[in-house]
Chain A
């Protein structure tokens, strides 16, 4: 029976645990499905509907860093009757370098999986490319690994590179992997090295990004120096996370990334104050010119308006020459309020009473003599 076509791996589970026995490596499991339609009488068997069982396949595993391929191996295996394969990457036949020579330096690495179905004569096809996530592990074989509830439960001495799985770090119930750096215990993931597996990959531009992320997977992130932004692949395209554009108006202006007070109002604007929340402006200069304006509030609306200072100081002044015993004098303007009148005799202010709308009478003690100067100042 001729085998039909290619296969597809729909599921693979890669263990993050490394095996440091005779041969280092990590587990790789995959379910292989037949991805081509099989014709039978009636409705045909759809692709990816049945496992590819008992088929001899060859896996080619490549471990790469961002720049080059560090290791390649091949393994030939027969799928079980359920289409499953389970093998250990590191136990295959090396094609390039050896698994032990891989420099597990904490930098980001990729596992590229290719598959060759020996019966279909199509050679290797790319099955998957994904990042390798691994737990740092002492490589010299002499360091210790502790599992404790809290850091306080650890007892010295410690050695450089010792690891501790602290189940309740910071007493918040969150487990954390700690590593002893020779002086202190530090969280293994708490570093700021952006070039390691926990930081973003830095690329110079889109070309480098597209070359590095090929194939690209949804959720991939990169720091693109060209746009000075973080870009995330959304499944269709790379999108920048710096997509928020700030706009200002109505008396606020933008100077670069700085928002400043000042500018044109674009709409009626209200500032509501209360007895507690008052509005104050301090540090104002003293006005020395009668030509300056003052701020007034429009009755009813509170809209601010300006008014010339001189309009508030509109007054009329008249100087009369008295005769002996004269007490009655005319005012320059009709009297609307005696408070708007001041009367001076020879420069001294004197009291008076209002006789009628245009006449005042000086107080009795203020006896005038011929030639006295009576100055009447009246506000409108």
Chain B
């Protein structure tokens, strides 16, 4: 968990604005994600959670952003925003009794990172990407037995988490202006002491997702002029 810092937000907002203005591609995608609490330890250094045997619930996500090239069309800066819902099924122990509980969490976030085309084969690009992100909790509940805890109202879970994505992707270029992509993504926040709840408590909110989406190559004015000049030169040669 990470305490929110104003400079992080400013940086992400700045990158989104700059990238939107300079973007050569914009993309829109959706998908599903699963999440778990990893490496949980309470203030006594014990792990009181047990999620073994529980299925991981897939919840929807949405993302959008823009990319622009910074090195020979292979390395791109990727800045965007996303909305994630997580349903985490786990349990705790009272005595030897295992009591199941379910977290329902919704986050909106901003991300900024790099997208690298590792392999290109005809119209298919095999990509690796990594992002820094900051998510803000917009809704959250924890349910066990007959108890429903509103985590957002009680502010007993981190309302702002900083972490990083990493993942792989495939992009298929349908036309010069239009592509579709498939990405596998792993996100985890930085593990630091939880400052919104019990002191000394630590955990990682880890999410895995599969995303599909489309991207549009909108180019820049300079590129468009270059293309026009190229076309004219080609006509003259003919």
A39 touching B198, Cβ below 8 Å: yes
Q: Is the CB of A42 within 8 A of B140?
A: yes
Number of residues on chain B facing chain A (CB within 8 A): 33
Partner of A3, one of B96, B101, B149, B203: B96
Inter-chain residue pair count (beta carbon < 8 A): 91
CB < 8 Å: which of B48, B93, B94, B197 contacts A42?
B197
Tell whether B218 is near chain A: CB-to-CB under 8 Å. no
Taking a contact as CB atoms under 8 Å apart, the answer to whether B46 and A54 are in contact is no
**Max chain B C-beta neighbours (<10 A), residue from A2, A38, A44, A54:** A44
Query: What are 29 sample pairs from A and B whose C-beta atoms fall under 8 A apart?
Result: A1-B48, A1-B50, A2-B46, A7-B95, A38-B93, A38-B94, A39-B44, A40-B49, A40-B92, A41-B194, A41-B203, A42-B103, A42-B154, A43-B149, A43-B154, A43-B157, A43-B197, A44-B156, A45-B144, A49-B147, A50-B97, A50-B99, A50-B145, A51-B97, A52-B97, A53-B94, A53-B96, A79-B97, A83-B95
- Contact indicator A40/B96 (Cβ below 8 Å): no
Partner of B97, one of A42, A44, A55: A55
Are A83 and B97 CB-contacts (below 8 A) given A1-B50, A39-B48? Answer: yes
A119 to B96, CA, bound (A): 10
B96 near A55: Cβ-Cβ < 8 Å: yes
Chain B positions 76-114 with a Cβ under 8 Å from a chain A Cβ:
92-97, 99, 101, 103
A3 to B147, CA, bound (A): 21
Give Cα A199 to B93, complex, Å.
Answer: 47
**Residues in A whose Cβ lies below 8 Å from that of B144:** 45, 50
Measured CA separation A42–B49 after assembly (Å): 12
Chain A: interface residue total (CB-CB under 8 A): 25
Q: Which residue of A lies closest to B1 (CB)?
A: A41
A34 within 8 Å of B by Cβ? yes
A81 is an interface residue with CB less than 8 A from chain B:
yes
| Whole-angstrom CA separation of A44 from B142 in the bound complex | 10
- Is B135 interfacial (CB 8 A cutoff)? no
Contact check, A1 vs B40: say whether CB atoms are below 8 A apart.
Answer: no
Q: Which residues of B contact A (CB under 8 A)?
A: 37, 40, 42-44, 46, 48-50, 92-97, 99, 101, 103, 140, 142, 144-145, 147, 149, 151, 154, 156-157, 194, 197-198, 201, 203
Minimal Cβ-Cβ distance residue in A for B194: A41
Chain A positions within 8 Å of B156 at CB level: 42-44
Our pick among A39, A42, A119 for the contact of B95 (Cβ within 8 Å) is A119
Report the Cα distance A10→B42, complex, angstroms. Answer: 27
A45 touches B92 (CB 8 A): yes
- Give min CB distance, B87 to chain A, whole Å: 14
The 10 closest A-B pairs by CB, nearest first: A53-B97, A55-B95, A39-B42, A42-B157, A54-B96, A52-B95, A1-B93, A43-B156, A34-B94, A43-B149
Nearest B residue to A117 by beta-carbon distance? B95
Expressed in whole angstroms, the minimum distance between the Cβ of A287 and any Cβ of chain B is 92
B55 to chain A, nearest CB (A): 19
**A40 contacts B95, CB within 8 Å?**
no
Q: Is the CB of B94 within 8 A of A41?
A: no
Q: Which A residues are CB-close (under 8 A) to B49?
A: 40-41
What residues make up the interface of A, taking CB atoms closer than 8 Å to B?
1-4, 7, 34, 38-45, 49-55, 79, 81, 83, 119
Tell whether, in the assembled complex, residue A81 and residue B97 are in contact, meaning their CB atoms are under 8 Å apart.
Answer: yes
Contact in complex: B94, A51 (CB < 8 Å)? yes
Chain B residues with Cβ under 8 A from A3's Cβ? 93, 95-96
Contacts of B46 in A (CB 8 A): 2
Which one of B42, B97, B144 has the greatest number of beta carbons of chain A within 10 Å?
B97
Q: Which residue of B37, B50, B198, B203 contacts A44 across the interface (Cβ within 8 Å)?
A: B198
Contact of B151 with A42 in the complex, beta carbons under 8 Å:
yes
Q: Is the CB of B93 within 8 A of A40?
A: no
Among A42, A45, A81, chain B packs the most CB atoms within 10 A around the CB of: A42
Q: Determine if A43 and B142 form an interchain contact, defined as CB atoms under 8 angstroms apart.
A: yes
